[in-house]
Amino acid sequence: MPHYIAAEPTFSTGLRPEGIEKSPYFWWWRFLGLNERYIETCKSSGDGPLAELYEDFGDVRVADGNVYQSFKKWWGVKGENHGRLFQERSLFPKAKTLTAKDDFSPVMSEYPYAVVVVDVHLGVKKAQEMVGAAIKEIRHYRQLPLRDTVIDDNAIAPENGKLQKPEGRVSLLRRYSTARYRLTALVGKNELSKAYRVYCAVKEAGFHTTDKMTDQEKVSVAESCALLEKVDPRRGLTKSEREARYEFASSELKQYFDDASRYVRNTGYGYFPEMPPEVFTEWDNHTEALTKIAGRGVDHM
């Protein structure tokens, strides 16, 4: 079964939006579709400024105005088309039993693995539960260190004693992802949806930035994107109320438009939603070396 580190889209009868929009991979596709240089490449059937990226992502344009049907075709029902770009691959497609130090392969000395001890006489089902619980602890409460580094437990334990993901650290799943194209951060569906709507609305209004829009234009766009409730024209607004709406619209539009602009730009480099932190590059180098040590490419999980 294909494995993803984030929610994959589900295509139920009628292509219900909630089953598709929950996936950040859908939004990756959507924002790439706003990248003018990439669309230029699509129109030329791959002969354009982003030809190399096109070889992997192909044509992301919406056909016949049907967004969800177009995405389903592009992704593949079970990710068998472009969904494969985001599937995790593994150097260890099968579990390995270690009974001696010599069982540690050269690959394992570099790969982020964990040694878990279980009482096998309890049976397969119980052993699976124990292993699952142990891995869950690792994923949630600490990061596996890079080679020759040590985790400082004090650095991830706040004053209240509850272990939490430390601020500024990349999650274990994303940091060690082996997908060809990896999510560099996780942004909520609602935030991605708002950023997409704002970006399109501002562009359709004829602007390339929110800085040159009038206060009234900002309010109108904010209303159209459901960031502001529309006011009944029969009800008058006080000066302070109007100013508050202008200020809110200006702040919200700029934030969402700037976020979306960054997402659109980054998709052209093959990243979403942000450019990768340095630890991603370090792991890319490790992964390339590991595949050479293993003597084969990584396998889809």
Tell me if the bond preceding 273 is cis, omega within 30° of 0.
yes
| Predicted pLDDT of residue 297 | 47
Beta bridge partners of 183: 272
| Predicted pLDDT of residue 111 | 59
In one-letter notation, the amino acid at residue 267 is T
| Predicted pLDDT of residue 165 | 40
DSSP code of 63? S
Q: Is the pLDDT confidence value at 205 over 50?
A: yes
Write down the H helix ranges in 184-238.
189-204, 215-224
Residue predicted with more confidence, 176 or 298: 176
C-alpha to C-alpha distance for 27 and 49, rounded to whole angstroms: 22
| Predicted pLDDT of residue 162 | 38
For residues 260 and 195, the answer to whether their CB atoms sit within 8 Å is yes
For residues 181 and 273, the answer to whether their CB atoms sit within 8 Å is no
C-alpha to C-alpha distance for 183 and 232, rounded to whole angstroms: 42
Closest CA to 24 of 37, 3, 5, 11: 5
pTM for the complete prediction? 0.76
CA distances in angstroms from 148 to 110, 140, 144, 151, 283, listed in the order given: 10, 22, 11, 10, 14
Closest CA to 263 of 211, 186, 167: 186
